[in-house]
Amino acid sequence: MSDTVIQIENLGKSYRLNHEAQERYVALRDVIARKIKGIIIKPKPKKMSQTEEFWAVKNISFDINRGDVVGIIGRNGAGKSTLLKLLSRITEPTTGRIRIRGTVASLLEVGTGFHPELTGRENIFLNGAILGMQREDIRRKFDEIVAFAEVERFLDTPIKRYSSGMSVRLAFAVAAHLEPEILIIDEVLAVGDAAFQKRCMGKMGEVSKNEGRTVLFVSHQMAAVENLCKTGIMLERGTVVEKGPASDVIKKYITGLSELSKISLADRADRKGSGEIQFTSVALQNGKRETVNSFTSGEKSIFVLKYNNIAKRDISQLDVEVRIETYRGHRLILLKSEMCGKGFDLIPKDNDTIEVHIDRLPLAPGRYCTTLFVTLKGDIVDWVKEAWFFDVEPGDFYGTGKLPPEEDGLILTPHHFHVPI
């Protein structure tokens, strides 16, 4: 038992959800009109709101030993982030108990543990003090933290002026270098660029293998979990449905994705965003505008996306992202309206379709999944991971009748060889 640093027994967290009949969109003129009407006519008493008990986490029990690197996976709404907040003492459990032996550093959201009015320099010392470190020990690690985070120029700038990427870099650098015994990392690392993510993975591996510290890591990127973690825990609807070697748990998760593909986009509950605009279906079309069940390598391919405009008003400053990934979470292609100069400045309120055209599909044969991420004036309105799945059939991409085997790569690109004379 001396090696056990985290003990979780029958852990549960419930919330009270209030359900009230209300309009999804109310204009200012409606509010003013109701106030005036309320002065003239006695308003009717409001109906009692209905409450529902929702268990974000329920009956979870497991132990984690010193030096374990544990990957926690599951779809949106499975309870991953709630579990980490309970372990980080950000929120209190409804049932059960948690025993933690050692200091804990958490990185759950952008800016976690930072005071926005303090500078980067001041926040480094503040976080070190919270972890129980002496000022001299923090000074000893200071240069290493700053170099890792690459924020030298902004050390004396208040954190509230930092970009999300800068905040995440500094927060991870502080959490990893100030020697907590337990490091808890949510998928916030996805905010950083690819080079930074690679450095983070290397650092987490280093602190677990060389320094014997415990790491809990949540991610939708199965490849990262498999490479970093020895143990995997899969959550579903707030409960643990699988625990064991990371590779075995990931296989179970991927099998579940096949079942997920049978659920229509409109019925997906594991989504985030305000819901002001919500995508409801996707159809695949080829270059002849024929609806197909799969695409072909090298051919024109079209995603036809249907959506529901809840507010029934003209849409401006909409940005749509479709991320094409492998089942293991490897990101292959980003299709982004703003990036290709096709930002939607104005879409009429009666429109319900957006199309994504790929002139020549550069994917090898196989099955792929997508993530849909949509913002309106910078705010997230719809975000669905593993939003839909599609197959790619062999095509004559190179005009030679040949394609590379899957293990040699999934991305196809035009190229030629030349011997200069």
- Residue ranges per structural domain of the chain: 54-259, 265-408
Burial class (CB in 10 A: 0-12, 13-18, 19+), 167: buried
From the CB of residue 229, how many other CB atoms can be counted at a distance below 10 Å? 27
From the CB of residue 52, how many other CB atoms can be counted at a distance below 10 Å? 9
- Distance CA(390)–CA(324), nearest Å, equals 10
How confident is the model at residue 111, as a pLDDT? 60
DSSP label at residue 78: S
How confident is the model at residue 12, as a pLDDT? 93
Residue partners of 147: CB distance under 8 A and separation at least 6: none
- Distance CA(232)–CA(244), nearest Å, equals 6
Tokens at residue 300, please? Answer: 């024109």
- 371-407 core/surface letters (b: 16 or more CB in 10 A; e: else): bbbbbbeeeebbbbbbbbbbebeebebbeeeebeeee
Residue partners of 78: CB distance under 8 A and separation at least 6: 235, 236, 237, 238, 270
CATH topology of domain 54-259: Rossmann fold (3.40.50)
Residues in the chain with pLDDT values less than 50: 1, 21-25
- Distance CA(167)–CA(188), nearest Å, equals 10
Q: With left for phi above 0 and alpha for psi between -120 and 50, is residue 306 left, alpha or beta?
A: beta
271 phi and psi, to 5 degrees? -130, 160
How confident is the model at residue 24, as a pLDDT? 47
The answer to whether 240 and 64 have CB atoms below 8 angstroms apart is no
How confident is the model at residue 49, as a pLDDT? 56
Greatest C-alpha distance within the chain: 93
Residue partners of 36: CB distance under 8 A and separation at least 6: none
The answer to whether 5 and 181 have CB atoms below 8 angstroms apart is yes
- Distance CA(65)–CA(182), nearest Å, equals 10
Distance of CA 273 to the CA centre of its chain: 12
Domain 265-408: CATH superfamily is abc- transporter (atp binding component) like domain (2.70.50.60)
Strands 291-292 and 277-286: antiparallel
Tokens at residue 76, please? Answer: 């949106």
| E strand segments, 66-221 | 69-73, 95-100, 104-107, 182-185, 214-218
Burial class (CB in 10 A: 0-12, 13-18, 19+), 264: exposed
How confident is the model at residue 95, as a pLDDT? 94
Residue 51 identity: T
Report pTM: 0.69
- Distance CA(374)–CA(322), nearest Å, equals 9
Which pLDDT tens digit goes with each residue over 14-30? 988 765 544 444 555 56
Q: What is the mean pLDDT of the chain?
A: 85
How confident is the model at residue 1, as a pLDDT? 47
